[in-house]
């Protein structure tokens, strides 16, 4: 039996990863989550999945989990997420550094084979180049959330250098899918469109993003595990760059909605003007084309209507 720990596993990406992992009958998954933003109803039902409510930023909570199980692999996905939430609670964001240190210390001491870390596209800040490349694009953000992710990456590299603890860092761009909360733009827009409600955009909508369907994200994580991508950084996203206004109009067209688009004042900070990854490494891992936005949105509509 191979044992996995997923911190923050009641979130969108963590719960989706757990669902895929337990399809393998020799895998056992343990999830620890404080449920501050995650939801227990996202978790798959399986005798090989154990949920523990706890806070990874509290050493005693995490040490208790490591005492109960011997983990082969750890996916550290627990974090305060969401632009508005992270801007409103910067101290809570900075406390996530404690969780990073706790994970690495306990993993090193207990013989974990590799630790996977959910970093973020936010580390790039306002880009000096598009697409944003893992090696050449400077890390340019001053926001607490991005700083914590950047510090986390440094901790992972340092633990590997000093203690030989292997790592893989995922720089997640915008992942979307059926189980994602309405805190995020795609489900927020899509559910509003399906209900005939207005779609609200901060600013003029010319800020760009790229949107990666959850299946592509999870398959990248699992293949990085099996294909042994140790001590490396992977952008995980989609290389189709589009404005938020284009996203809204595409959602209206696919859903057949007549909802109105309403522009709100631009956010004072945190809304980077451009974001699009270089996914050369990701495509090499997947060995296939990425899911198109059209296909991903149609899958979400089918799920919402089921």
For 148-191, what is the HEC assignment?
HHHHHHHHHHHHHHHHCCCEEEEEECEEECCCCCCCCHHHHHHH
Judged by DSSP in three states, 107 sits in helix
pLDDT tops 90 at residue 48: yes
CB of 123 within 8 A of CB of 271? no
- Computed over every residue of the chain, the mean pLDDT equals 94
pLDDT tops 90 at residue 267: no
CB of 239 within 8 A of CB of 277? yes
Q: Which CATH architecture has domain 2-174+212-236?
A: 3-Layer(aba) Sandwich (3.40)
Lowest mean pLDDT among 36-40, 47-51, 103-107, 209-213: 36-40
The CA R_g of the chain, rounded to the nearest whole Å, is 19
- Global pTM value: 0.95
Return the pLDDT at 270.
61
Angle at CA of residue 184, ends 279 and 274, nearest 5°: 45
pLDDT tops 90 at residue 141: no
Alpha-carbon distance of 177 to 179, in angstroms, equals 6
Over residues 236-260, the mean pLDDT reads: 97
Same-fold call for 2-174+212-236 versus 178-210+239-275+291-305: no
Query: Checking DSSP bridges between strand 73-76 and strand 199-202, what pairing results, if any?
Result: unpaired
Main-chain phi, psi angles of 84, to 5 degrees: -65, -40
**Spatial CA neighbour of 113 closest among 230, 22, 266:** 230
Q: Is 145 a catalytic residue?
A: yes
Return the pLDDT at 16.
97
**Catalytic residue from among 145, 167, 176, 213:** 145
Over residues 169-192, the mean pLDDT reads: 95
Burial of residue 126 (CB within 10 Å: 0-12, 13-18, 19+) is: exposed
DSSP alpha helix (H) spans, the chain = 12-21, 59-68, 83-88, 90-94, 96-110, 144-163, 185-194, 214-226, 244-255, 280-286, 293-305
Q: What is the per-residue pLDDT across 69-125, written as a single tens digit (0 to 9) for each? A: 999 999 999 998 866 677 787 888 899 999 999 999 999 999 999 999 999 999 998
Domain residue limits, the chain? 2-174+212-236, 178-210+239-275+291-305
**Spatial CA neighbour of 134 closest among 168, 164, 174:** 168
Lowest mean pLDDT among 18-22, 180-184, 217-221: 180-184
Ramachandran assignment for 192, one of left (phi > 0), alpha (psi -120 to 50 degrees), beta (any other): alpha
H or E element: which one contains 231?
none
Burial of residue 142 (CB within 10 Å: 0-12, 13-18, 19+) is: exposed
pLDDT band for 221, please (50, 70, 90 cuts): very high
**Spatial CA neighbour of 265 closest among 214, 306, 204:** 204
Return the CATH superfamily for domain 178-210+239-275+291-305.
UDP-galactose 4-epimerase, domain 1 (3.90.25.10)
Query: Checking DSSP bridges between strand 208-209 and strand 167-172, what pairing results, if any?
Result: unpaired
């Amino acid at each position: 039996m191979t044992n996995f720990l997923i911190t923050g596993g009641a979130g969108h990406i963590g719960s989706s990863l757990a669902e895929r992992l337990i399809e393998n009958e020799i895998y056992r998954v343990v999830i620890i989550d404080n449920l501050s933003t995650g939801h227990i109803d996202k978790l798959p039902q399986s005798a090989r999945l154990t949920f523990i409510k706890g806070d990874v930023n509290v050493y005693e909570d995490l040490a208790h989990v490591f005492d109960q199980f011997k983990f082969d692999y750890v996916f550290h996905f627990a974090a305060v997420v969401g632009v508005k939430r992270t801007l409103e609670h910067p101290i809570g964001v900075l406390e996530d550094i404690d969780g990073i240190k706790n994970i690495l210390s306990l993993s090193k001491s207990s013989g974990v084979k590799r630790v996977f870390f959910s970093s973020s596209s936010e580390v790039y800040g306002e880009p000096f180049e598009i697409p944003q490349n893992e090696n050449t694009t400077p890390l340019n953000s001053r926001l607490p959330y991005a700083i914590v992710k950047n510090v986390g990456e440094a901790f992972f590299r340092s633990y590997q250098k000093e203690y030989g603890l292997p790592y893989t860092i995922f720089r997640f761009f915008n992942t979307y899918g059926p189980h994602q909360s309405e805190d995020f733009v795609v489900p927020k827009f899509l559910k509003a469109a399906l209900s005939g409600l207005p779609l609200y955009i901060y600013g003029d909508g010319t800020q760009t993003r790229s949107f990666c369907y959850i299946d592509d994200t999870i398959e990248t994580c699992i293949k990085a595990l099996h294909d042994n991508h140790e001590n490396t950084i992977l952008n995980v996203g989609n290389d189709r760059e589009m404005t938020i206004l284009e996203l809204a109009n595409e959602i209206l067209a696919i859903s057949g909605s007549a909802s109105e688009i309403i522009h709100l004042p631009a956010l004072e900070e945190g809304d980077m003007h451009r974001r699009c990854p270089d996914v050369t490494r990701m495509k090499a891992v997947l060995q296939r084309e990425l899911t198109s936005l059209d296909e991903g949105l149609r899958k979400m509509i089918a799920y919402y209507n089921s």
